[in-house]
Amino acid sequence: MHLLTARRILACIALLASVWLMIVALRSSWLAAAFPVIGSLLLFVASVMLTAPDTAVKIAEWIARPFAALFYPDDEFEKPPLSYVLARKYSQERKVDAAVQEYEKILFYYPEERDAYLELIELAQRVGDEELREKYEEAMREWELKADNVANTEQV
């Protein structure tokens, strides 16, 4: 930590000296300004080199992030894409628990999906699970009531 602070202080001093030498060069005649300009540039490069270990990685990461996102997109989505593939596959294979779990996942993220309710009720009827069928018929009725209430409030 002390080395980091010392480098930053040294970089600030080098930058201030660089600015001072450039001001001196601007006030000098064209030939006399050569040495202050060269010294100013050397001090500026030194200040950049002193701060580079701290900033180079951060700047490189900031520049590379959009390009890396093309190949490795962030997995921070609000909800997964809507897909009935797994639920229907499990339903056809008579894997009732897995199918119900997939339909519940769909309904969790997309509660307005009427097809998920209907397919889940149909699955419950096929396997003869009256409790499951009644549960999701009731859930579908509640959803339809909410949708009707929302539609009525929007009309008013």
The pLDDT tens digits for 75-96 are: 666 778 889 999 999 989 988 8
Long-range (24+ apart) CB contacts under 8 A made by 17-26 are 17/43, 18/43, 18/44, 18/47
Record the pTM.
0.50
Distances (CA, A) of 97 to 72, 83, 107, 145: 33, 18, 15, 28
Q: What are the pLDDT digits (tens) for 12-60? A: 999 999 999 999 999 998 889 999 999 999 999 999 999 888 888 888 8
Tally of residues, the chain: 156
